[in-house]
Structure 1
Amino acid sequence: MAEKTIMLACSAGMSTSLLVSKMQAAAKADGVDYKIFATASSDIDHQLNGESKPDVLLLGPQIGYMANDIKKKTDKVGIPMAMINMQDYGMMNGEAVLTNAEKLLGDK
């Protein structure tokens, strides 16, 4: 069973899907077990208020304009949130994005 849940969100949840695969590979190589998934920005509210809400939320650069509004929602439910570094996102650098998520989780 996964220790923590990391949620990535972008416009439609499709462009972050490849990044999720890269992050899962990096987690496996590091010997850690995380549930990592991607979703559309329109699904964020549902995920944050569901019974299996994530432990951290990372936003794709293309929805950066939504960050302030989403941050208010994540603060309200006690979930850390950050933007994915644009260069790491563009390069699909799963290891770097995973490391940033772990910092938010307090795991590194």
Structure 2
Amino acid sequence: MKFTSTLLILSVAALSNARVLYVRQANSQSFTGALGGITATPILDSGDAKRPFAVKDATFVNLSAAVQRSCDQQFNACANAANGGTAGLSTAACSSQQDQCSAAGAA
């Protein structure tokens, strides 16, 4: 019985400590506009000190390049939706949103 209690306590402690190892990455993309519900691609830490910013599978040396890629991907998805006939979307509105996204990243 004592062995079972000890094992249970150690298991709980191990699980509690393992949870600390999971770290949620912060998104460096500050733009929150989302025409048609389409958000800008997240900019995450790549784990590579030489190319620290990641947008999907691409990595970048600096944040401004990552922001540009993120905003471009949002524009492409928005324009595809607009060209596909999604109500309330136009490529002009998507282009305007892209300008806003780029400006937010430059600020």
TM-score (norm 2): 0.26
Structure with more relative contact order (C-alpha pairs < 8 Å, separation 6 or more): 1
Kindly indicate which of the two structures has a greater share of residues assigned to strand.
1
